[in-house]
Homo-oligomer: A and B are copies of this chain.
């Protein structure tokens, strides 16, 4: 399996994030991608190739154009406004407030286009976002051109980013971009299987009204876990999309057997949908030692995930999402991929 990787991710470093009652160094840090890349190499998964640069047209197929146009301007605006530290918002347009008028101040715009203080900017952030997007599209093209699978080693991740908002370390929704790109390249149906610990609220929001992209999410119960405000089992899609969004919220402490039962059910529904291609939102923060997550998967479980996905017998694009246990992130992420290759 080929891996697509860009060193530009490393410029997104040192950014701070808002967590419960504190602003702390981001858990989403460059070493995450470096540990994965090192494991790709040591496991001899296959060639590591550089991304091809793309314009932003594919991003605007799933995101609001004004949102995408905003992202490259954040850091320059922040600096020009004289603000210090990581660019982050401090107030948000929740219910009862207007979402139709964009304010003219950078700290307010950050709130307008987000749902938390977890997707923040430093000088190198936009270049990292853009490289992550290029990585996803380049890997998608490998699969479209006949590879059985490819690995988009994306950083920053994407699945919390919706049509018009960032959050949870995510800016451009790489998996959603790739799924839409497959559609635009002629795929009739695409399935997105999100195995990250956290609900992919952005992915769900983007495709919620559509039947041509099936979205399956396995994740911590939003009643008690981030992102809290989406990911319940009763969210099954709307309109034409009814039945094509499938959520598997699971409780704190979920171990392999229970998690795997959800995966089996998801794979059965995926197979019944019979997509032309599968996009896997590959988060490994389901790991027992993840510092911000509450599931109890162990390293030997990850190859089994890959094996099960391989059994679907479909062209498969893996897109890196979360995973914050840095020491083991390579072992677990690449474990899924070697499992997929059954070696």
Contact = CB atoms under 8 A, between A and B. Distances in A.
Interface string A60-95: 000000000000000000000001111110111111
Nearest to A167: B91
Contacts of A84: 21
Contacts of A95: 93, 99, 164-165
Interface in A159-179: 162-165, 167-168
A227 B228 CA distance: 24
B21 A88 contact: yes
Interface string A1-44: 00000000000000010111111000000000000000000000
Interface stretch (A107-115, A139-147, A258-266, A296-304): A107-115
Given A201-B97, A229-B98, A229-B112, A20 B118 contact: no
B116 A91 contact: yes
Give the dominant DSSP class at A's interface: loop
A103 interface: yes
Given A21-B23, A92-B116, A116-B91, A97 B16 contact: no
A245 B110 CA distance: 28
Interface residues of A, number: 55
B23 A228 contact: no
18 contacts: A18-B90, A20-B90, A21-B84, A21-B90, A21-B107, A22-B85, A91-B115, A91-B116, A92-B116, A93-B95, A93-B228, A94-B114, A96-B115, A96-B162, A96-B165, A96-B201, A98-B230, A108-B228
